[in-house]
Amino acid sequence: MLSQSFAISTLFRQTPYEILDQRGGGGAMGHGPWWTVGAANDSERELCSVKLTLLLFVFCWVLEEGAGTYEESSKYVVALLLLLALSNTVEINGEGSDGQCKYKRDLDPRPHSVSILEFGAVGDGKTLNTIAFQNAVFYLNSFADKGGAQLYVPPGRWLTGSFNLTSHLTLFLERGAVILGSQDSSHWEIVEPLPSYGRGIELPGDNGTIDGQGSVWWEWFRSHSLNYSRPHLVEFIGSNDVVVSNLTFLNSPAYNIHPVYCSDVQVQNVTIYAPPESPYTSGIVPDSSDNVCIEDCSISMGYDAIALKSGWDEYGITYGRPSSNVHIRGVHLQASSGSGLAFGSEMSGGLSNILVERLRLYDSFSGIKFKTTRGRGGYIKNVLISDVEMENVYMAIGATGQCGSHPDDNFDPNALPDVDRITLKNVVGTNITFAGNFAGIQESPFTLICLSNVSLSITSDPSTSWVCSNVLGFSESVFPEPCTDLQSSYSNSSSACFSLQYPDGHAAVL
């Protein structure tokens, strides 16, 4: 079955189901934009990294096997809304950020600047401005070797289809500027999804907005009438030094911010919203990416607010790129039907060295959830979550080894995931229905699950508020009292568990 996708991305676009690139690329060929690009091996990819482009506002078309779940797909092609050429860092941000992510850098001013108004654009939310944006970029391309240029977008509602950005160009969204993706699929060109590397395009703004206008896709999704998968708003693939800050993201048809195969990613001071009834919408989804910092964000979604991923079954195992060294702090998360903070279930490349602190979760089905299943392989390990406040959450903490489907019948049922060294401490919750449910895999139990200083005000019977199977852990100062499986004694391991230090003393989380 088919649906559609809308994103900011590098040229290779991975679906939310994480299947294409782990198979080595591919997908159906569609009508190309102004160019297409491909790399069959590492040397070709390195060559391409000099001249290829980064996609911004990608409108992706994904061939889906059936409908209804986020983990069913086959092949896809990509239609482009806005393309960015490569340079040195990738930034989508605004002004005045006071965060402390170490990857932040100042934006260099461009010596040349024009307004989109000079090219006949109309910001009434009705006029299609694709030609205006294309003409503006074509003109500004002449300044690429003269220090670059800025395309200024003033306050208004700017409806557009696909267009390309060039190298050394800044697209600046003023406060009150809203870029709207057209809901007419005929406005999007289609290309083959292929890998590329992204650096150095800037999309700053003074708290501007990107609105995916996803309601039409949500309805098509519910009615099983999609031919391609749904749009994302922002996606980077194979990019370094990514900065997204001081922007508002609204009504994404699916994911909002999706860095894939990226390094040094900063997401800071963003607001992300989709209504509670929006099906399977997710906020920030780091995917097979390392050195990621997410801070000072407010996210309210229909499904998962933040979800860490790293590949799907044998394809993720073969590709073998984990999500690691992730730091999340000072975020407010709400997830109507999913989890405020989720790990997996696509985690076959591994998730490790994750530090989460100063987390507020509210009005959610699940607070914190670890998800995997047989056939995934991979691991979730060395995770420290501390200083958490929860309010009005049905299930505070959960971990399951029976979650998620498979991309095809080639998965290895003996590829068992390893879930180990998960620490949650300093957690306070009010109006919680159930404290936790930990259900590991019999042949591969979840180990060293550590709870410390956890106090939950439970609305159900406290004696049945914890459910555990195939899990071993350690706990101290936990109310209501956890199941006996989480009260094991780890002699020399409990202190390492709560500080997330290896026995030799070095830190597991960087």
Least confident of 244-248, 301-305, 341-345, 404-408: 404-408
> 20 and 169, same structural domain?
yes
Q: What is the pLDDT of residue 317?
A: 86
Least confident of 90-99, 347-356, 464-473, 479-488: 90-99
Tokens read off for 169: 């160009």
- Residue range of the domain that includes 499: 312-321+363-397+411-510
Least confident of 62-76, 125-139, 301-315, 483-497: 62-76
Q: What is the pLDDT of residue 241?
A: 75
Residue 49 belongs to what H/E stretch?
Answer: helix 42-51
User: Domain boundary at 191, 216, 241, which?
Assistant: 241
150-188, pLDDT tens digit by residue?
889 899 999 987 666 666 777 788 899 998 988 876 766
Q: What is the pLDDT of residue 387?
A: 97
pLDDT over 50 at 9, yes or no: no
> 204 and 317, same structural domain?
no
CA 328-331-337 angle, 5° bins = 100
Q: What is the pLDDT of residue 115?
A: 97
316 with 290: CB under 8 angstroms?
no
Q: What is the pLDDT of residue 197?
A: 37
- What average pLDDT does this structure show over 80-109? 46
337-379, pLDDT tens digit by residue?
999 999 989 989 999 999 999 999 999 999 999 999 898 989 9
Q: Is residue 110 part of a domain?
A: yes
pLDDT over 50 at 321, yes or no: yes
Mean per-residue pLDDT over the chain, rounded: 76
> 221 and 124, same structural domain?
yes
424 with 454: CB under 8 angstroms?
yes
The model's confidence at residue 498, banded by pLDDT at 50, 70 and 90, is low
Q: Is residue 56 part of a domain?
A: yes
pLDDT over 70 at 213, yes or no: yes
Tokens read off for 253: 């048809």
pLDDT over 80 at 6, yes or no: no
238 with 195: CB under 8 angstroms?
yes
Q: What is the pLDDT of residue 297?
A: 96
Q: What is the pLDDT of residue 4?
A: 36
Q: What is the pLDDT of residue 403?
A: 85
pLDDT over 80 at 146, yes or no: yes
Q: Is residue 305 part of a domain?
A: no
> 154 and 59, same structural domain?
yes
Least confident of 84-93, 99-108, 224-233, 338-347: 84-93
> 316 and 209, same structural domain?
no
Q: Per this entry, what is the length of the chain?
A: 510
Q: Is residue 337 part of a domain?
A: no
The model's confidence at residue 191, banded by pLDDT at 50, 70 and 90, is very low
Q: What is the pLDDT of residue 361?
A: 99
Q: Is 238 left (phi over 0), alpha (psi -120 to 50) or beta?
A: left
Total tally of structural domains belonging to the chain: 2
Q: For residues 178 and 157, what is the distance between their CA atoms, to the nearest angstrom?
A: 5
Least confident of 46-50, 279-283, 462-466: 46-50
Q: For residues 337 and 472, what is the distance between their CA atoms, to the nearest angstrom?
A: 28
The model's confidence at residue 468, banded by pLDDT at 50, 70 and 90, is very high
377-414, pLDDT tens digit by residue?
899 999 999 999 999 999 999 999 988 777 778 888 89
The model's confidence at residue 418, banded by pLDDT at 50, 70 and 90, is very high
Least confident of 286-290, 340-344, 427-431, 490-494: 490-494
> 65 and 207, same structural domain?
yes
Q: Is residue 252 part of a domain?
A: no
210 closest CA partner among 167, 242, 255, 168: 255
pLDDT over 80 at 65, yes or no: no
What are the phi and psi torsion angles at 486 (to 5°)? -100, 20
* Those residues with Cβ within 8 angstroms of residue 118's Cβ, 6 or more apart along the chain or in another chain: 136
Q: Is residue 451 part of a domain?
A: yes
> 316 and 181, same structural domain?
no
Q: What is the pLDDT of residue 198?
A: 41
> 141 and 225, same structural domain?
yes
> 205 and 87, same structural domain?
yes
Q: What is the pLDDT of residue 116?
A: 96
pLDDT over 50 at 49, yes or no: no
Q: Is residue 278 part of a domain?
A: no
Of the two residues 32 and 94, the one the predictor is more confident about is 94
> 38 and 132, same structural domain?
yes
168 with 199: CB under 8 angstroms?
no
Q: Which DSSP string corresponds to 353-402? A: EEEEEEEEEEEEEEEEEEE-BTT---EEEEEEEEEEEEEEEEEEEEEESB
User: Domain boundary at 216, 241, 266, which?
Assistant: 241
Q: Is residue 119 part of a domain?
A: yes
> 367 and 237, same structural domain?
no
User: Domain boundary at 201, 224, 241, which?
Assistant: 241
Give the whole-number percent of the chain exceeding pLDDT 70: 69
Q: What is the pLDDT of residue 55?
A: 34
Strand segments (E) across 410-495: 418-439, 446-458, 466-469, 471-479
Give the whole-number percent of the chain exceeding pLDDT 90: 47
- What average pLDDT does this structure show over 29-45? 26
